[in-house]
């Protein structure tokens, strides 16, 4: 697989990611094409939304994914509309959003959400053979790192019922909003609470399956579960 080899010598820049389609126009100061920022958001995200259009009707479908270097893998039933449509080479837009909190301003107009998000444009294509199995491993490991080595691998019948698509991350952007409300000066003396309500994605206690065999301990990767987190180079908020 490609790994992170597409980084240039400077380490993080991937000039090709920025195209006319992925050039931020609204709040460009929140935008980024930095590879580390994009990769960090993709790794922390749990699921994505895949947008595509069939016969002029747009669909935006939430689904799982996994990243291997500069490749995204998504999978699903071979019979699903999304997988069938995208297997034909339709252009798609994959979005991953992380919600970092609510921004509660003194005016309705200045309310906002703190977020980190990535948009990837491209045409996914189906993979087969070893890469299909590899894609399934990447998607499974994206849920819980360490899981793949413990579980039963897909049978030939299960593989046939599953389609796996790869989408090269060649055209992409990130956008990050952080910080507090950007109230107008004339509003700051208003008698209303203002600030941020941070959100964290944290797991609750694992719930063992009713049919779990006795004596099976919770694996460490679930006992200490956390989404992979890296500092995603947050630009400062707008003035
Ligand atoms: C959780 C969340 C809540 C949001 N709430 C609002 C809201 O209430 N109102 C609002 O106007 N906007 C909101 N945004 C920002 C929104 O995603 C868009 O950035 C914004 O609406 C500008 O859209 P546009 O099409 O004019 O962007 P443009 O700047 O014209 O988009 C051009 C290109 O910039 C890139 N880009 C734009 N937005 C993003 C993004 N979010 N992530 C990655 N790349 C991006 C894409 O490559 C896109 O094709 C929110 C974002 C998130 C993640």
Average pLDDT of the residues of the chain: 90
Ligand 1 centroid, distance to 52 Cα (angstroms): 17
Q: For 114-147, what is each residue's pLDDT tens digit?
A: 999 999 999 999 999 999 999 999 999 999 999 9
Q: Which of 95, 173, 232 to mutate to test the pocket of ligand 1 (most atoms within 8 A of CB)?
A: 173
Sign of the Cα pseudo-torsion (138, 60, 120, 202, in order): negative
Whether pTM exceeds 0.85? yes
In this prediction, residue 229 has a pLDDT band, given cuts at 50, 70 and 90, of confident
Ligand 1 centroid, distance to 119 Cα (angstroms): 9
User: Does residue 231 surpass a pLDDT of 80?
Assistant: no
The domains located in the chain, with CATH, are 15-223 (2.30.110.10)
Q: Is the CB of 174 under 6 A from ligand 1?
A: yes
Fill in the DSSP letter of residue 34.
Answer: B
Q: Is the CB of 116 under 6 A from ligand 1?
A: no
Q: Distance (Å, rounded) from C-alpha 16 to C-alpha 30? A: 19
Q: For 11-51, what is each residue's pLDDT tens digit?
A: 455 668 999 999 999 999 999 999 999 999 999 999 999 99
Q: Is the CB of 99 under 6 A from ligand 1?
A: yes
Q: Which of 27, 28, 31 to mutate to test the pocket of ligand 1 (most atoms within 8 A of CB)?
A: 31
User: Does residue 58 surpass a pLDDT of 70?
Assistant: yes
Which runs of consecutive H residues, i.e. helices, occur in 24-119?
Answer: 35-44, 81-87
Q: Distance (Å, rounded) from C-alpha 90 to C-alpha 122? A: 9
């Amino acid at each position: 697989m490609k790994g992170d080899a597409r980084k240039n010598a400077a380490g993080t820049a991937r000039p090709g990611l920025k195209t006319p389609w992925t050039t931020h126009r609204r709040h460009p100061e929140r935008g980024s094409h930095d590879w580390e920022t994009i990769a960090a958001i993709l790794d922390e995200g749990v699921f994505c939304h895949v947008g595509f259009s069939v016969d002029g009707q747009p669909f935006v479908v939430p689904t799982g994914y996994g990243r291997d270097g500069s490749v995204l893998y998504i999978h699903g039933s071979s019979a699903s509309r999304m997988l069938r449509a995208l297997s034909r080479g339709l252009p798609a837009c994959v979005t991953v959003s992380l919600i970092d909190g609510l921004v509660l301003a003194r005016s309705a107009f200045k309310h906002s959400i703190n977020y980190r998000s990535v948009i990837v444009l491209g045409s996914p294509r189906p993979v087969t053979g070893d890469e299909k199995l590899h894609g399934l491993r990447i998607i499974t490991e994206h849920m819980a790192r360490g899981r793949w080595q413990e579980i039963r691998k897909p049978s030939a019948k299960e593989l046939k019922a599953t389609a796996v698509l790869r989408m090269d991350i060649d055209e992409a952007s990130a956008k990050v909003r952080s910080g507090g409300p950007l109230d107008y000066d004339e509003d700051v003396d208003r008698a209303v609470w203002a600030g941020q309500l941070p959100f964290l994605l944290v797991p609750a206690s694992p719930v063992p399956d009713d049919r779990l065999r006795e004596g099976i301990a919770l694996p460490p990767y679930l006992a200490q579960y956390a989404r992979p987190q890296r500092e995603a180079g947050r630009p400062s908020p707008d003035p």
